[in-house]
């Protein structure tokens, strides 16, 4: 534990550890988290969790559990909308689901993801798309993929007062050119990723997602930046960790990536509940007297 992290979590007179009331996770604040709170966590050396969500009810569960940042990721394509990749996701879909997540939460900073085709044309298109998510859906920040290649977009949004989370390493919107491979293994690729991260920071991004990069490289990027890094498949040294909620909760069908940890088996639980309901209906056990009006 770093000295700053120790100050975040200190022992009281009874020997109990008490959390810093400002802590992003476990803190006492009830107002919505802002990007300034995120910056404070990096200064304190505090690690924090981020989850995706795509609907109000799931988001409310994560908000009540104290998850400080919720990403309405374009992973909604694979995990919610039934597409094979994130590429077909539209801005309308992100806007509707982001608004639902904002309505379902009180404390979390909600980050809306700019989908493929909604910002690549240039900064003006990016500003128009991001403005929709901020005004219509009420998100507190937006995420977009790419470092140097998305700099004009990042600069434009930051100048307009929209906090930007950058996404580097494996960028799923480029799956058709990049595939799903660990990024930054070759020296040249690692140098490019470090350059991208610094460029995103210099353009005013408040955080950088690092997806599927070697842990050593993620550690170097994390040391080099004053804004937080958020890892997914990037090892233990990033400032924060993000998981796709359906992977984390065991709802995703089939194999999940090796970097995911499954904390529940919702697919089994929901399937069992559906079967129990069906058997009660076909066997006549539901509805019983207590579910019946006279």
**Residue ranges binding ligand KIV (CB under 6 A):** 52, 71, 73-75, 113, 167, 209, 211, 232, 242, 244
User: At closest approach, how far in Å is the CB of 46 from ligand KIV?
Assistant: 20
For residue 143, say whether it is annotated as part of any ligand binding site.
yes
For residue 75, say whether it is annotated as part of any ligand binding site.
yes
- CA separation for the pair 98, 133 (Å, rounded): 7
Nearer to ligand KIV, 112 or 214 (CB): 112
What DSSP string describes 149-194? GGHHHHHHHHHTT--EEEEEES-GGGHHHH-S-----SHHHHHHHH
| Cα distances (Å, whole numbers) of residue 46 to 25, 27, 90 | 9, 11, 35
SS (H, E, C) 96-157: HHHHHHHHHCCCCEEEEECCCCCCCCCHHHHHHHHHHHHHHHCCCEEEEECCHHHHHHHHHH
* Tokens at 283, concatenated: 């066997």
User: At closest approach, how far in Å is the CB of 92 from ligand KIV?
Assistant: 17
Nearer to ligand KIV, 52 or 252 (CB): 52
For residue 239, say whether it is annotated as part of any ligand binding site.
no
Nearer to ligand KIV, 58 or 75 (CB): 75
Residue closest to 251 by CA, chosen among 49, 61, 100, 95: 61
- Tell me if residue 285 falls in helix, strand or coil: coil
- CA separation for the pair 218, 121 (Å, rounded): 29
Alpha carbon 154 to its chain's center: 18
- Say if residues 119 and 89 touch (Cβ distance below 8 Å): no
64 is known as an active-site residue: no
- Say if residues 178 and 170 touch (Cβ distance below 8 Å): yes
- Tell me if residue 61 falls in helix, strand or coil: helix
For residue 196, say whether it is annotated as part of any ligand binding site.
no
User: At closest approach, how far in Å is the CB of 44 from ligand KIV?
Assistant: 23
User: At closest approach, how far in Å is the CB of 77 from ligand KIV?
Assistant: 8
Q: Which residue is nearest to ligand KIV (CB)?
A: 73
Nearer to ligand KIV, 132 or 167 (CB): 167
Nearer to ligand KIV, 141 or 209 (CB): 209
User: At closest approach, how far in Å is the CB of 233 from ligand KIV?
Assistant: 9
For residue 74, say whether it is annotated as part of any ligand binding site.
yes
Point out the catalytic residue in the list 46, 64, 93, 211: 211
* Tokens at 244, concatenated: 């796709």
Nearer to ligand KIV, 8 or 86 (CB): 86
What lies within 8 Å, CB to CB, of 15 at 6+ separation is none
User: At closest approach, how far in Å is the CB of 96 from ligand KIV?
Assistant: 16
Binding residues: 74-75, 113, 143, 145
Which residues belong to the active site?
Answer: 211
């Amino acid at each position: 534990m770093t000295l700053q992290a120790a100050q975040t979590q200190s022992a009281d007179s009874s020997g109990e550890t008490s959390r810093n009331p400002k802590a992003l996770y476990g803190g006492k604040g009830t107002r919505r988290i802002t990007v300034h709170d995120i910056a404070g966590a990096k200064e304190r050396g505090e690690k924090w969790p981020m989850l995706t969500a795509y609907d109000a009810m799931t988001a409310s569960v994560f908000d009540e559990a104290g998850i400080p940042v919720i990403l309405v990721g374009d992973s909604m394509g694979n995990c919610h909308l039934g597409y094979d990749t994130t590429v077909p996701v539209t801005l309308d879909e992100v806007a509707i689901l982001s608004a639902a997540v904002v309505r379902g939460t009180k404390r979390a900073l909600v980050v809306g993801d700019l989908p493929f085709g909604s910002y690549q044309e240039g900064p003006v298109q990016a500003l128009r798309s991001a403005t929709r998510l901020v005004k219509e859906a009420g998100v507190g920040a937006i995420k977009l993929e790419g470092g140097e290649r998305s700099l004009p977009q990042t600069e434009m949004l930051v100048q307009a007062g929209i906090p930007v989370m950058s996404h580097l390493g494996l960028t799923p919107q480029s799956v058709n050119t990049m595939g799903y491979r660990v990024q930054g293994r070759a020296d040249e690729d690692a140098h490019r990723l470090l350059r991208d991260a610094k460029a995103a920071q210099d353009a005013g991004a408040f955080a950088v997602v690092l997806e599927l990069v070697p842990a050593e490289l993620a550690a170097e990027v994390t040391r080099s930046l004053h804004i937080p890094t958020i890892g997914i498949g990037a090892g233990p040294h990033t400032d924060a960790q993000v998981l796709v909620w359906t992977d984390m909760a065991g709802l995703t069908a089939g194999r999940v990536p090796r970097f995911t940890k499954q904390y529940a088996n919702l697919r089994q639980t929901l399937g069992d509940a559906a079967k129990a309901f069906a058997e009660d209906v076909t066997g006549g056990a539901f509805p019983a007297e207590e579910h019946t009006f006279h």
